[in-house]
Amino acid sequence: MTESLNIANRLTASAERWPDQIAVVQPNGRDSAGEYRYRTWTFSQLEREATAIANGLLAWGVQPSQRLVLMVRPSFEFIALTFGLMRAGIVVVLIDPGMGRSNIFRCLEEINPDGFVAIPIVQAIRVFKHRQFPNARFNVTVGGRKWLWGGKTYSDLLAESRKPKADRRDTVFQMPAAIIFTSGSTGPPKGVVYEHSMFDAQVDLLRDFYGIQPGEVDLPGFPLFGLFNAAMGVTTVIPDMNPMQPACVDPIRILAHLRDWNVTQAFGSPAIWNRVGRHCEATGEKLPSTLRRVLSAGAPVPVHVIERMRRAFSNPDADIHTPYGATESLPVASISGREVLEQTAPKSQQGAGTCVGRTFPRIDVKIIQITDGPILSMKDAAELQRGEIGEIIVRGPSTTREYFYRPEATAAAKIQDADTAHQSSFAPRPFFYHRMGDVGYIDEQGRLWFCGRKAHIVDTEFGRLFTIPCEAIFNNHPRVFRSALVGVGSKPQQQPVIIIEPEAGQFPKSAADQAQFRAELLDLGRANPITVAIETVLFHPSLPVDIRHNVKIFREKLGPWASKELGIAN
């Protein structure tokens, strides 16, 4: 016997319980007074649209388990298409446009998709590169007319739904629902296979942990969060912003949406809240009293961002929360801004790392000895004591099992736990721990601390240096916006180099200023035992960061840059 579950059924349930509640709000220009106009759709409308899309695809001849690439701007159509594709049993392929052209084409070739559901420019590129996508037969143009590339438009697809439909089989909850690619910030992007049950578990974990209630209103700065909202009975307000450039978001627009729709929750990169918090600090403007919680993920949230956001809240019970996780396993842990400022921030400033909080229920986290190469079984992993820095591994109902067509990468990232298996009516499958690629420790209170990426460890003759603890020491300087620790030379004899991005307007303008700034930084380093070995400081006008969140520092690019600046072969 198998268990059937389709994550799109969560939308059906929302439509049945709250048919007339607004599901999606989308900006639609401005009026003569400069105020936003909006388009809205109810849950019943969204459900009908998703069902029509699913029926249209099946009537067209698309088969369950086929792979369609979805590249559509954040919109009502994006949400309806995602649910419609999943409802039809089709595997939705999501690729971050910010990963760069060469990475995008590499990922698409790896997927070998059966078609593209995409905006016109993507369809045009598909035609130009048609030899790379020989199986792409089912192509839907969204947000414009089709030209020479054929296929169907979004309207055509809806019309197709009125034709007789092909037989549809139930979706088994272990079947793939989506393939979501990692950003590739510490290696080539990899396709993470999500099963329907994993999305279902994510919805429950997030809803229960944060106490999210039906009828709430969310402003998601990351498009996929709109899918979670629809599954929880929460209204999604699509922000007027470029999701690929969160560091350039206009805070005035964000504040307008928050006020216009009495938003209760907002989700986004730390880069968004850095902009919003600085704007509120400069103008004295407050966040609306309806706002109960802000979620920020993608990288550790700097303390100064938390401080500004907490000062900007007008609701005394509101807080900013930072969930920790990865594409392969989300969520894992979370911490509130209040706990950060009152308990953990002083320790972080002295090099303890970044506390990411307590784990979600049903999520199991362990710290094991840092090891290169695959670990076949948990019997081969050496678990560390509390307080010891090691590799973070995770398992739970939302933890993914594999990368798409990457058996070597899967073997390197997953550890089989042969002693336990899912207890269900289908054939038992062993649990896997996922190796997060991060290092950290668990403190005496059971909280998880993040100390950086495993790939970014600097191995020196004095021992290992971890990025996040070391960088925090130098970030205490009032002229420092952020910093990055890199190693120059070969392991285990790397020369540690701290690269400083000063605050706006604080870049040293003369040799004397640079020398003074550097001396002050070195004094900070020598005063702490974890940074006493760092004797080289470089200044950089703007550290390279990831496109998706605009906060993850590309240390892989900074290592060669530092080597060149120092005249050392890396």
> Do 241 and 223 meet the contact criterion of CB atoms below 8 Å apart?
no
**b/e per residue 84-95 (b: at least 16 CB within 10 A):** bbbbbbbbbbbb
> What is the rounded CA–CA span in Å between residue 170 and residue 107?
29
Mean pLDDT of 191-212: 96
Tell me which H or E stretch contains 409. helix 407-413
> What is the rounded CA–CA span in Å between residue 378 and residue 357?
24
| Residue 386, pLDDT above cutoff 90 | yes
What band does 136 get if pLDDT is binned at 50, 70 and 90?
very high
What pLDDT is stored for residue 418 in this prediction? 66
* pLDDT digit string, tens, across residues 347-370: 999 999 999 999 999 999 999 999
What pLDDT is stored for residue 1 in this prediction? 36
Domains of the chain, first to last: 45-195 (3.40.50.980), 354-452 (2.30.38.10), 457-566 (3.30.300.30)
* Distance from chain centroid for Cα 491: 30
> Do 312 and 276 meet the contact criterion of CB atoms below 8 Å apart?
yes
State the pTM of this model: 0.93
| Residue 428, pLDDT above cutoff 70 | no
The dihedral built from the CA positions of residue 521, 526, 531 and 533, taken in this order, carries a sign that is positive
Amino acid at 343: Q
**b/e per residue 475-509 (b: at least 16 CB within 10 A):** bebeebbbbbbbbbbeeeebbbbbbbbbeeebbbe
Phi, then psi, of 492 in degrees rounded to 5: -95, 30
DSSP 3: -
* pLDDT digit string, tens, across residues 66-79: 999 999 999 999 99
What pLDDT is stored for residue 2 in this prediction? 46
Helix (H, G, I), strand (E, B) or coil at 288: coil
What band does 145 get if pLDDT is binned at 50, 70 and 90?
confident
Tell me which H or E stretch contains 309. helix 303-312
> Do 415 and 393 meet the contact criterion of CB atoms below 8 Å apart?
yes
Average pLDDT along the chain? 92
> What is the rounded CA–CA span in Å between residue 558 and residue 549?
18
Pairing of strands 265-268, 235-237: unpaired
> What is the rounded CA–CA span in Å between residue 216 and residue 292?
10
| Residue 166, pLDDT above cutoff 60 | no
What pLDDT is stored for residue 422 in this prediction? 45
Helix axes 9-17, 43-60, angle to 10 degrees: 140
Mean pLDDT of 40-65: 95
Mean pLDDT of 322-339: 96
Listed in sequence order, the DSSP H helices in 70-224 are 76-87, 101-111, 120-128, 154-160, 196-210
| Residue 482, pLDDT above cutoff 80 | yes
Q: What is the 3-class SS of 19-64, one letter each residue? A: CCCEEEEEEEEECCCCCEEEEEEEHHHHHHHHHHHHHHHHHHCCCC
> What is the rounded CA–CA span in Å between residue 59 and residue 163?
6
> What is the rounded CA–CA span in Å between residue 70 and residue 82?
8
User: DSSP per residue over 89-109, as a string?
Assistant: TPEEEE--GGG-HHHHHHHHH
What pLDDT is stored for residue 161 in this prediction? 83
The dihedral built from the CA positions of residue 46, 51, 52 and 56, taken in this order, carries a sign that is positive
DSSP 488: E
| Residue 224, pLDDT above cutoff 90 | no
Please give the sequence-ordered ranges of beta strands (E in DSSP) within 269-341, or none if there are none: 293-296, 319-326, 329-336
Pairing of strands 140-141, 430-442: unpaired
What pLDDT is stored for residue 295 in this prediction? 97
Pairing of strands 115-118, 67-71: parallel
Of 20-24, 89-93, 280-284, 552-556, the range with the lowest mean pLDDT is 552-556
Tokens of 86: 């999943």
Contacts of 238 (CB under 8 A, 6+ apart): 24, 25, 26, 27, 74, 75, 76, 220, 226
Mean pLDDT of 419-435: 58
> What is the rounded CA–CA span in Å between residue 382 and residue 487?
27
Amino acid at 530: I
- Cβ-in-10-Å burial (0-12, 13-18, 19+) of 511 comes to exposed
> Pick from 451, 432, 342: which is nearest to 390 by CA?
451
| Residue 506, pLDDT above cutoff 60 | yes
First to last CA, the chain: 57
| Residue 98, pLDDT above cutoff 90 | no
What pLDDT is stored for residue 103 in this prediction? 86
Tokens of 116: 């593209």
Q: Which residues pair with 452 in a beta bridge?
A: 439
